[in-house]
Structure 1
Amino acid sequence: MLIAFNKPFNVLCQFTDRSTPPRATLAGFGLPADVYAAGRLDYDSEGLLLLTDDGRLANRLTDPKYKQPKTYWVMVEGMPAAEQLQALRDGVVLNDGPTRPAQVRLLDPAPQLWPRNPPVRYRKNVPDAWLEITISEGRNRQVRRMTAAVGLPTLRLVRVAIGAHRLDGLAPGQWRRID
């Protein structure tokens, strides 16, 4: 079984939380029993999370050797210069080594998304822009670290695709089975 889930902002990618106070988890969304997240999406990120009850499928979706592309819509602070976009395309050096090259394009107009709660802080004198970034690896907070490394801090991050699987119209907290 494979499930596409639109993980809301500030929800953990697990079914339990031992922290105090407890944070929202996947347990509150009526997902089928015996599925677990195939990969991760940070607590403060939103969008497509795949869940499965099949360990081999989970491995195929998450193991870097299979290079499943992951596509994100990323709201960044600042207006990206051509050099910054090219640096992301070439791969940037992070504290844990260089990243693989990424596919990057400016999204203009900005994507039409659901409101985030709480909303992204608006700063009248600081422009922002939306990028579409596709990577084929999945390091901890990688997209956020990549955009920061080129001087474009991430304000909002929404994963819209993993391989051939897309978010396609799921509202935050909704899920569907994938055949």
Structure 2
Amino acid sequence: MIYKPYGYLSQFVNNGQKQNSKKLLGELGEFPEGIMAIGRLDEKSEGLLLLTTDGKLSNDICSGNIEKEYYAQLDGDISIEAIQKITEGVEIGFNGKKYITKPCKAFKLKQTPNFPKRNKKIRDDRHGPTSWVSITLNEGKFRQVRKMTSAVGFPTLRLVRVRIGNVYLGAMQIGEVKKLIQVDI
């Protein structure tokens, strides 16, 4: 498992010419041959990412049966109504088509999470209030959490995945890698 930093792609090999200047996970340490990320976090997202050389395990985790929990810092003080809309499902765009997200779990966090400082600054409360929410999904469409919070009027400023199944980010530091002997998802 790794705490994927902001600004890195969730891959070890450069797959295209446009990505020549992009940072890859392999720059964060020594990894076994054939290792791959299970699922993805976009370049602007951070947090828990599982790594494996087992394609079946990767497929099982990405199947839609495993919960993934995210903490999102939002622009504005999110309302109870907006959280309710997120939990019921909201319309987002996906592959050029409209899509209604599946029902999920969401709630406003009472305290600001204690994450390490990010390498790129985020605007602070001097420019208006922010709030933090927990959103737990089984699906994982392209930039889904960001699209969901924007759809209810509260764009995401920072997004951190904190849990995949029963594996938690915990107190890991940005860029830290931990070896799991057995994954009990």
Aligned counterparts of 2:30 and 2:149: Cα–Cα separation in 1? 33
Q: Which residue of 2 aligns with 1:144?
A: 146
What SS does the aligned partner of 1:57 have? Answer: helix
Q: CA RMSD in A?
A: 1.3
Deviations 1:49-90 (A, max 9, x none): 0110001100001122xx211000100011111110100111
What SS does the aligned partner of 2:179 have? Answer: strand
What SS does the aligned partner of 1:144 have? Answer: helix
Q: Which residue of 2 aligns with 1:19?
A: 18
Aligned counterparts of 1:8 and 1:88: Cα–Cα separation in 2? 26
What SS does the aligned partner of 2:57 have? Answer: helix
1:30 and 2:29 matched: yes
1:114 and 2:112 matched: no
After TM superposition, give the deviation of residue 30 of structure 1 in Å: 1.5
Aligned residue-pair number: 174
Counterpart residue identity of residue 86, structure 1? Q
Map 1:46-85 onto structure 2 (within 5 A): 46-64=46-64, 67-85=65-83
Counterpart residue identity of residue 22, structure 2? R
Aligned counterparts of 1:80 and 1:159: Cα–Cα separation in 2? 19
Q: Which residue of 1 aligns with 2:126?
A: 124
Contact 2:7 2:23 in 1 (8 A): yes
Change (3 A) 1:20 1:40: closer
What SS does the aligned partner of 1:178 have? Answer: coil
Q: Which residue of 1 aligns with 2:91?
A: 93
% of aligned pairs identical?
37
Aligned counterparts of 1:58 and 1:16: Cα–Cα separation in 2? 17
What SS does the aligned partner of 2:60 have? Answer: helix
Which ranges of structure 1 fall in alignment gaps of 5 or more residues? none
After TM superposition, give the deviation of residue 16 of structure 1 in Å: 2.9
Which ranges of structure 2 fall in alignment gaps of 5 or more residues? none
Give the TM-score normalised by structure 1.
0.92
Change (3 A) 1:51 1:85: same
After TM superposition, give the deviation of residue 121 of structure 1 in Å: 2.0
Give the TM-score normalised by structure 2.
0.89
Q: Which residue of 2 aligns with 1:103?
A: 105
Counterpart residue identity of residue 53, structure 2? D
Q: Which residue of 2 aligns with 1:171?
A: 173
What SS does the aligned partner of 1:175 have? Answer: coil
Contact 2:124 2:130 in 1 (8 A): no
Aligned counterparts of 2:2 and 2:30: Cα–Cα separation in 1? 9
After TM superposition, give the deviation of residue 125 of structure 1 in Å: 4.0
For residue 158 of structure 2, the aligned residue among 134, 156, 159 is 156
Counterpart residue identity of residue 50, structure 1? L
After TM superposition, give the deviation of residue 161 of structure 1 in Å: 0.4
Where do 4+ consecutive residues of structure 1 move more than 4 Å?
none
